[in-house]
Structure 1
Amino acid sequence: MITSVLLATDWVRLLIVCVVFTAVACAIALFTGLLDPRRFLTAATRAALQLAAVSAVITFVLSHLGLTWAFLVLMAVVATATSARRTEAGRRGAWVALPIVVGTVPSLTLLLVIGLLPVKGIALIPVGGILIGGAMTATTLSARRALDTLHDRYGEYEAARAMGFPERDAVCLIIRQPAAEALVPPLDQTRTVGLVTLPGAFVGMLLGGAPVWQAGALQIVVLLALLAVEAAAVAVVVELVARGLIRRPSQEGEVRLT
């Protein structure tokens, strides 16, 4: 009975804290005009529902390797859909799947082949989720910056073409550096790890009772893998935009490759 009361109290505290944080974010957005407050409310609600659903099925998924792989594929599909929507590329948004998987699959494969990552759901899903999520963020940010820059600096693109640059090279000249800004957050996270941030893999292993050195070793592997995945994602995005494969509907007539 006492245990049940304590658990109920913990849930009440959790609910209060979540409501307070969400309300603060909405209030800041409302009074500063940064974003529509409803976006924070929607994100918080979705996060709570999705985590509740995942918590309900995760034990079953982790105990079946086939379901683990299926869950990773589902993660990649959702990441692609999210990035495509944020990129506003319309029917061409399907191309964002390529930068998301091009670094993630080889990185996971390497970790499995050399034995640093066991072929178990309890290891594959967290690490795979981190890599897929990082690739999604890098893809979204780099694609948005690249497409915005191509639109805003279209005159520079025309000038490059007039100077004899091929179509692809002219586009790359304009978008490469803006797209690369998507790598600033992961680079800063890697540079300041342990001094400013203690990432999830490290904290999770410590809470699970792993030695500090083991948690640190896994975290550095994950961080460096994440850097490689995100760098690959940005590079592929630049190439896809330069070749006209990723475009917003309003931009499809701006650049035609010959």
Structure 2
Amino acid sequence: MDISWLAMSVFMLVLIAPLAINRYFHLHLGKDIAVAVLRMTVQMVLIGLYLKFLFHLESLWVNLIWLLVMLLVGASAIINKAKLPKSAMMLPVIGGLLLGLVPILLIMMLFLFQPTPIYSTQFLIPTAGMLLGNSLSGNIIALQRLFSAFEEKQPQYHGALALGASPKQASEPFVQHAMQQSFAPILASMTTTGLVSLPGMMTGQILGGVDPIIAVKYQIIILIAIFATLTISVASAIQLTINQLLNHSGKLRFNAADL
């Protein structure tokens, strides 16, 4: 069942509620809400048209270029939201996303979906988008917590170094805390999925007429893939960041307080 553009436009009147809340509580978010909704709508329409074109084109190289664009945009979003320097952090963040995305994506394409061709745009691009999109917030939280720890607990870090700890050992509590904080939201979400919430992909499939059991299977696969991608990308990005941040003696190459 298709949704008409008129029906969609009328439905968007529900935005009156968040705008009213913004006005009543003087949140000063009216411009941000308007820009976010407008950009989201325009971007989604454009990507829909572009994906329709890609589905017909079915080119390996175009798909790989599009994946690279997604990685660059995702890495930039992580760095900007975490308020980190691009020059120092772009490679660690992109490296983390690559290490998290590529193995999981290959397993899904080669052994689960098995589309023809194996780089089928219909499977490759949406799946990569879901995995990357759900990894962004976790990476932002992890990097923010990591740099905050170096800023707020420098005496603890330097004390551990003075007692003979290696840079890896001295920074380990910061790494552990950053990763725990990063994984907490998705673990909470997975714990309540099916009882409190029905994920968007599963709901969309059911509304599209797919058998609920088939929709459940796909959703389980996607949630596990998202969790695996998130954990690998966060762990990789943090380790690459530590290597970038600390020299062999444990001294910070750039001051976290200046970030």
Q: TM class by shorter-chain length?
A: 0.7 to 0.9
Q: In structure 1, the residue corresponding to 2:244 is in which secondary structure?
A: coil
For residues 211 and 8 of structure 1, what CA distance do their matches in structure 2 show?
Answer: 27
User: CA deviation digits over 1:1-52, x for unaligned, max 9?
Assistant: xxxxx946414413322x3255146447x63x6x855433332222122112
Q: Check whether the contact 1:176–1:238 (CA below 8 A) recurs between aligned residues.
A: no
Task: Indicate the residue corresponding to 1:23 in structure 2.
Answer: 19
1:254 Cα deviation from its structure 2 partner: 4.2
Structure 2 residue aligned with 1:92, among 88, 91, 103? 88
For residues 5 and 52 of structure 2, what CA distance do their matches in structure 1 show?
Answer: 23
For residues 64 and 237 of structure 1, what CA distance do their matches in structure 2 show?
Answer: 34
Task: Indicate the residue corresponding to 1:43 in structure 2.
Answer: 36
**Do structure 1's residue 55 and structure 2's residue 52 form an aligned pair?**
no
Task: Indicate the residue corresponding to 1:222 in structure 2.
Answer: 222
Q: CA RMSD in A?
A: 2.5
Structure 1 residue aligned with 2:112, among 111, 115, 125? 115
1:193 Cα deviation from its structure 2 partner: 1.2
Residues 25 and 166 from structure 1, CA distance in 2 versus in 1: closer, same or farther, beyond 3 angstroms? farther
Residues 117 and 79 from structure 1, CA distance in 2 versus in 1: closer, same or farther, beyond 3 angstroms? farther
Q: Flag the structure with more relative contact order, 1 or 2, with Cα contacts below 8 A and sequence separation at least 6.
A: 2
Residues 159 and 41 from structure 1, CA distance in 2 versus in 1: closer, same or farther, beyond 3 angstroms? farther
For residues 179 and 37 of structure 1, what CA distance do their matches in structure 2 show?
Answer: 34
Q: In structure 2, the residue corresponding to 1:243 is in which secondary structure?
A: helix
User: CA deviation digits over 1:128-179, x for unaligned, max 9?
Assistant: 1110112222211111111111111111101111111111221222332133
For residues 174 and 135 of structure 1, what CA distance do their matches in structure 2 show?
Answer: 20
Q: Check whether the contact 2:143–2:178 (CA below 8 A) recurs between aligned residues.
A: no
For residues 179 and 22 of structure 2, what CA distance do their matches in structure 1 show?
Answer: 29
Residues 135-150 of structure 1: pairs in structure 2 closer than 5 A: 135-150=135-150
Name the TM-score, length of structure 2 as normaliser: 0.83
Q: Check whether the contact 2:245–2:253 (CA below 8 A) recurs between aligned residues.
A: no
For residues 174 and 41 of structure 1, what CA distance do their matches in structure 2 show?
Answer: 38
Q: Check whether the contact 2:19–2:30 (CA below 8 A) recurs between aligned residues.
A: no
Q: Check whether the contact 1:150–1:174 (CA below 8 A) recurs between aligned residues.
A: yes
Q: In structure 1, the residue corresponding to 2:112 is in which secondary structure?
A: coil
Name the TM-score, length of structure 1 as normaliser: 0.83
Q: Check whether the contact 1:100–1:132 (CA below 8 A) recurs between aligned residues.
A: yes
For residues 36 and 164 of structure 1, what CA distance do their matches in structure 2 show?
Answer: 50
For residues 244 and 54 of structure 2, what CA distance do their matches in structure 1 show?
Answer: 39
Task: Indicate the residue corresponding to 2:174 in structure 1.
Answer: 174
**Do structure 1's residue 209 and structure 2's residue 209 form an aligned pair?**
yes
User: CA deviation digits over 1:167-213, x for unaligned, max 9?
Assistant: 12212223321332111111112111111111122122212222111
**Do structure 1's residue 82 and structure 2's residue 82 form an aligned pair?**
no
> Any gaps of 5 or more consecutive residues in structure 2?
247-251
For residues 182 and 33 of structure 2, what CA distance do their matches in structure 1 show?
Answer: 22
